[in-house]
Structure formats: structure tokens, C-alpha cells
Amino acid sequence: MGNVVMNASVSLDGFIAAENDDPGPLFEWLVSGDVPLDDSGALNVSQASYDHIRPYWDQIGVTIAGRHVFDLTDGWDGKPPSGVDHVVVVTHRPAPEGWDASAPFHFVDGIETAMTTAKELAGDRTVEVAAGDVGGQMLAAGFVDEVRLDVAPVVLGSGKRYFGAVDTQHLLEDPDIVVQGNRVLHLRYRVRRRAA
């Protein structure tokens, strides 16, 4: 079974977007280089960022996101982002009216069902959890194996928190990956497991 990874671009003060959902300069690093990250032609990063991000993206089988992210992106037009095979959407509402039922999106009620569904779909590939409220709930429930941050050199001051509403302490191991790219510092921390 693959790892469960919480991932997002984040400001130095721990926000993934402003209150109005504007990410501001958090994604500047995705257009600050000369190495194409994918086939879209829109994403060009430094070689260091490419060497770090591309292998990670290639491991992802399923992304778990909340309904808010799904709605903000218009459901990625029915095509999972970054070449991911499936998206599991945590929501209390049904799929949007007129949604293509054959699109590889799965609407589930609750994080436990989301994780079960995602692991079945991913097999031995990585399950990625979008940071924010759903990601924070997954971390608090003990589902997350590692935390990856693409830290942008900006202080937003307020906004949507990387760990959502998490309000208890969670210990991580020392960072085992630290990569400097253009306009970004990529970090990976494994989640410290409590002794049984």
C-alpha cells in the first residue's frame, strides 16, 4: 500500500490562500523556471523543483480534496489534475447536477470513507491529501504518513491555514528532504507515530 501524503504550496506563515481563496504569489514558483513540469506548457520550474516534484507527481494515484476545492476548480473540468487517476471529494452534497458520472471522481461523505475509497483506488501508489480543512482532519485522525510543503517566500498575514482547524499538537520527524528551487523551498516531513 502506498503512502498517504498531505501536500500544498504554503506561505511562510502557514496559509494556503487568503480568506477569499486567492493564493496570491504562492504558485509563483510554478512559473519561475525554464523546465516544463508537465505537458500543459503553463508550468515551468527550476531544474531542482522539477527533480523533486515530477517523481512525486508520477507516484500519485488518487487525490483527496474537499468540496470547496472541487467547486473552486470547477471540478478540474472532469479531468483529475497533474495526471492523477482519480479524485475523491469529501462532501455532504451529491455531485453537481449534470456531472459526467463516468469522470474519475468519487463523492463521499466523511474522511474515513474517503481514505478507504482512495486506498482501494490507489493500490500501491500514493494517496495525496490536499492541505486545508480536509487535510487537517486526516492528520488529526492519524491517516497521514508524511507532510510535504512547497514554501513560498511570502507572508500572507491571514487566510486559509495549511493544517485547517487542527488545534492539537502533532509531532513530525526532522525534514528528510530539503530542496531549494526558484521562489520555493520544498520540504518533506514524516509524521511521527505514537507508540501503541
Give me the domains of the chain, ranges plus CATH numbers: 7-190 (3.40.430.10)
74-127 pLDDT tens trace? 999 999 988 899 999 999 999 999 999 999 999 999 999 999 999 999 999 999
Model pTM score: 0.94
Pair 145, 190: CB distance under 8 Å: yes
Is it the case that residue 196 has pLDDT exceeding 70? no
Question: pLDDT band at 195, cuts 50/70/90?
Answer: low
User: CA-CA distances (angstroms) from residue 139 to 6, 142, 144?
Assistant: 8, 5, 5
Predicted confidence (pLDDT) per residue in 150-171, tens digit? 999 999 999 999 999 998 999 9
Predicted confidence at residue 39, as pLDDT, reads 87
From its phi and psi, is residue 164 left (phi > 0), alpha (psi between -120 and 50) or beta? left
Burial label for 104, CB within 10 Å (0-12, 13-18, 19+), is middle
